[in-house]
Amino acid sequence: MSRVGKKPVTVPSGVTATVDGQMVKVKGSKGELSFVVPEEVSVALENGAVSVNPRDESKTARSKWGMSRAQVANLVEGVSKGFEKRLEINGVGYKAAVAGKVLKLSLGYSHDIDYAIPAGVTITTPKPTEVVVAGIDKQVVGQTAAEIREYRGPEPYKGKGVKYSDEFIFRKEGKKK
């Protein structure tokens, strides 16, 4: 039984939600998002809140129940507040800079990496060693941050590479004489 799915998603003031069959559309100050709820789950807008319920007690319906509720909650939070991921760059000479619609990364390779910034995402570099990925769609923000991190993930010996700001890297001891 889903504990997440039982709770209805409250729609704050300044945000409008519409349910049309299996399509949930949410519009707010930051933009508009939509999500198609799976057929195994029913969705309804009642008393200023979006409620999600399984159509039957099958395993697939119950598994998609909590996921659908979480997706709708992410839509509401995205159009009202937005999402943000912070990345830190550690290493001598490692840096990042935004030039137009391209993020330029110097990560110790023989060449610079040019990452094309996807639509719906804004990337800023407050410091050369810090990258902030922001947007209204949680999935796109997370995917963009993961792709940037993938170019040079953090290594456990010196801690060099790109890591999330809230990520802890287990450090290893080097060779002993």
Task: Give the pLDDT of the chain (177 residues) as one tens digit per residue.
Answer: 668 888 889 998 888 999 898 899 999 999 999 999 999 999 998 888 999 999 988 888 888 998 999 999 999 999 999 999 999 999 999 999 999 999 999 999 999 999 999 999 999 999 999 999 999 999 999 999 999 999 999 999 998 999 999 999 999 998 887
**Contact present, 36 and 43 (Cβ < 8 Å):** no
Structural tokens at position 30: 């930051």
**Contact present, 143 and 123 (Cβ < 8 Å):** no
Domains of the chain (ranges; CATH) run 3-80 (3.90.930.12), 83-164 (3.90.930.12)
Q: Is this prediction's pTM over 0.85?
A: yes
Residue closest to 30 by CA, chosen among 97, 75, 64, 93: 75
Cα dist from 87 to 130, 137, 149, 156, whole Å: 6, 18, 8, 17
Using CB atoms within 10 A of its CB, is residue 13 exposed (0-12), middle (13-18) or buried (19+)?
Answer: exposed
